[in-house]
Chain A
Amino acid sequence: MTDLNKASTEENETLIEISGLYQVFGNKAKSVLPMVKAGKSKDEVLAETGHTVGLRDINLDVKRGEIFVIMGLSGSGKSTMIRHFNRLIDPTEGQIKVEGEDIMKLTDDELIQFRRHKMSMVFQHFGLMPHRTVIDNVAYGLAIQNVDKTERLASASQWLETVGLAGYGDQYPAQLSGGQQQRVGLARALCTNAEILLMDEAFSALDPLIRSEMQDQLIELQAKLKKTIIFITHDLDEALRIGDRIAILKDGILSQVGKPVDILLSPADDYVEAFVKDVNRARALSTQTLMQNVNNTLESQSVESAINSLNASQQEYGFVCNNEGYQGVVTRSQLEQAAANDSNADICCDELLIKVPSVSPTQSLQSAIPEALGHNFALPVTCKDGKLVGTIPRSEIAQVLES
């Protein structure tokens, strides 16, 4: 939830496209496939053929620059899923396109080049090489590309610094704590400058405090680097916190793909609903997810014209914005009283304006609630420069928190 303009993410081009992906584990996977396609359940297929259905008819697309979270409980196939993106596992059937190129058609050499330059990966248990120092671990991706030693070490120490581990380069992974080791894992993945970052339950093995620290760091880095990140997790709070879009996987089937707010507010089926039931929505949702467009903005204008525009939009009050951004709220009744005195006065004056406090689009709904309590107006949302970007009607807040 880093970018303010979710709409722009939506318009971004598709970077990765997966269509009709099936994964069946077993010796004669191909021959079992028709059965899976006919809709037999995982248990039925296992009982009849001894084959395990990993993934079933997966179709999804990942946009450039977004954090795409794949969420599911253990056994849902999410780790299998992410290994298809760089073909650590080959699908039984289906297409995986990256930038329009079908990566299933790559030759062995092309696949190696693809892995070296296009994608990098962070692992749940870090996957560090215990016999190499931290800096050599970070530089590993470049080392196997035969990048010159001084060059790769320079690049590696820069990334180590970025993740906050400057000075740890000469230690061995075993000397570091879990959180630090995963930072090394992250630095290693970033060091190859690959555009796509695969993160397989990257923070799941860390304790809660470190985990939320790492999430913050990831969000912060993402704001700078604008990578395309595919993030696997079993933790819905984590998914809601960092995901631009979330795919929910159950027993190898995609239940729902959507923005966090869609998942929370309109779950596609009972499974997703059960999942999101216990989520603290006030904390999980940011104000921007509930934000609506403003249709009652008033500029710095005369009282009379302000009454006219309120009449036109049939509103009882309006948000006043001038060149310096959002200023406050004026109500129709006050305007009408003022019009009795001087209908040509500017509405942008202290006597008329009610200073309704504004909230930022990135803060959590929970922290915005106190601001919504002192008055009867919709809650104005402004970005850093004071510009009004939207409002949240009180009814909307109530509705979201109620159900």
Chain B
Amino acid sequence: MSDTSWLSKFPQLERGDLIAIRKTLDGAYREFSRNYGDTIESLFDPLLTFLIWFEKLLIASPWWLTIGVILAIVYGASRSWKLCTGVFASLIAIGVLGMWDDTMRTLSIITVCTLLSIGIGIPTGILMSRSNRVQAIVTPILDVMQTMPAFVYLIPVVMLLGIGKIPGVIAVIIYAVPPVIRLTNLGIRLVNKETLEAATAFGATAKQRLFGIQLPLAMPTIMAGINQTIMMALAMVVVASMIGVKGLGQPVLKSITNQYFTLGLFNGLAIVALAIIFDRVSQTYAKRTQKHLGGMNND
């Protein structure tokens, strides 16, 4: 009872102990990445090959062809000439202001990240919706993924895989995948119980219920999740550029360090333009396919 300093000062671990903990964990992880880094990296090789191929495809194609294909996709999804005009104008502006190649790089990585996020997110969301236990486990993980500062989980990824496209993609996905998982789970759980019961009563199998009832009825919610995922992926472009992902993020990074206001603004606006294009197209597509829900009272 003689030493009462713990009352005024938090009784923390000894400095030496703390260093020991850090050293042990860091050492163990470094050991791990040294031993398995190459193996894990090689697992991602096909993805890397695809990323490079897709980026080259977008940059190497003549600009008018790329714009034509993009407009075709936009019109196919939205059936709106107004939207097409807007997309055309923004792409032309991007090109004229000298950001065409960077925009294509960003577009390619965002497209791949979004597709991967959907590919990972929807099945995870489905699993979560089917079991309360899975939901209880996954929810806190998603919370961590969304709130942990991106730089923190960039460290182990870079340690393991070095800098480059793959770590960038992983970082973007970690940040962007939670909304689509959450909203897939939510959407499926919100499907009208009686409708689902009706399907069961008529002898639908679990698979028939999932693909015939649950997913189609959860689609508006899932689409909102996908939309969020795209937006968050675009928001990560600048952070990802810190670990060597080329695209619109790098000029932004450069303009922060060198205080180039206009360069930063232009590239920032190009990111915004991409975001708006993705958003409007996916929204109008969702709305168009959900027309039958108009006026439906949810009882």
Contacts and interface: CB of A to CB of B under 8 A. Distances in A.
B208 A115 contact: no
B217 interface: yes
Contacts of B192: 127
A2 interface: no
A309 interface: no
B198 interface: yes
Given A124-B194, A174-B292, A130 B217 contact: yes
A112 B217 contact: no
Contacts of B213: 129
Interface string B286-299: 00000011111101
A88 B193 CA distance: 12
Contacts of A188: 202
B202 A140 contact: yes
Given A127-B195, A129-B213, A131-B292, A112 B201 contact: no
A125 B299 contact: yes
Interface residues of B, number: 24
Contacts of B294: 174
A222 B216 CA distance: 35
A131 B289 CA distance: 10
A129 B202 contact: no
Interface in A185-235: 188, 192, 198, 205
Interface string A110-151: 001111110111011111111100000000110011000000
Given A124-B194, A127-B198, A128-B195, A116 B203 contact: yes
B224 interface: no
A7 B192 CA distance: 43
B205 interface: yes
Contacts of B204: 112, 144
A337 interface: no
Given A127-B194, A130-B217, A88 B201 contact: yes
A117 B203 CA distance: 8
B201 A119 contact: yes
A140 B195 CA distance: 12
B219 to A, nearest CB: 8
Contact of A131 (B194, B203, B217, B299): B217
A123 B202 contact: no
A130 B201 contact: no
A175 interface: yes
Nearest to B216: A131
B203 A144 contact: yes
Contacts of B198: 121, 123, 127-129
A123 B203 contact: no
Contacts, number: 76
B296 A127 contact: no
A86 interface: yes
Overall SS of chain B's interface: helix
Contacts of B293: 130-131, 174
Contact of B296 (A121, A141, A174): A174
A115 B295 contact: no
B200 interface: yes
A126 B292 CA distance: 17
Contacts of A120: 201-202
Contacts of A112: 203-205
Interface in B249-299: 292-297, 299
B295 A175 contact: yes
Contacts of A168: none
A116 B203 CA distance: 5
A121 B295 contact: no
A86 B295 contact: no
Contacts of B212: 129, 144
A172 B200 CA distance: 21
B191 to A, nearest CB: 10
Interface string A69-96: 0000000000000000010100000000
Contact of B194 (A115, A123, A141): A123
Nearest to B294: A174
A168 to B, nearest CB: 14
A123 B208 contact: no
Given A130-B217, A131-B217, A174-B295, A145 B194 contact: no
Closest 4 CB pairs of A and B: A116-B203, A127-B198, A115-B203, A174-B296
5 contacts: A88-B200, A115-B201, A120-B202, A127-B192, A188-B202
Interface of B: 192, 194-195, 197-205, 208, 212-213, 216-217, 292-297, 299
Interface of A: 86, 88, 112-117, 119-121, 123-131, 140-141, 144-145, 172-175, 188, 192, 198, 205
Given A174-B293, A174-B297, 14 more contacts: A88-B200, A88-B201, A125-B194, A125-B299, A129-B198, A129-B217, A140-B202, A144-B199, A144-B202, A144-B204, A173-B296, A174-B292, A174-B295, A175-B295
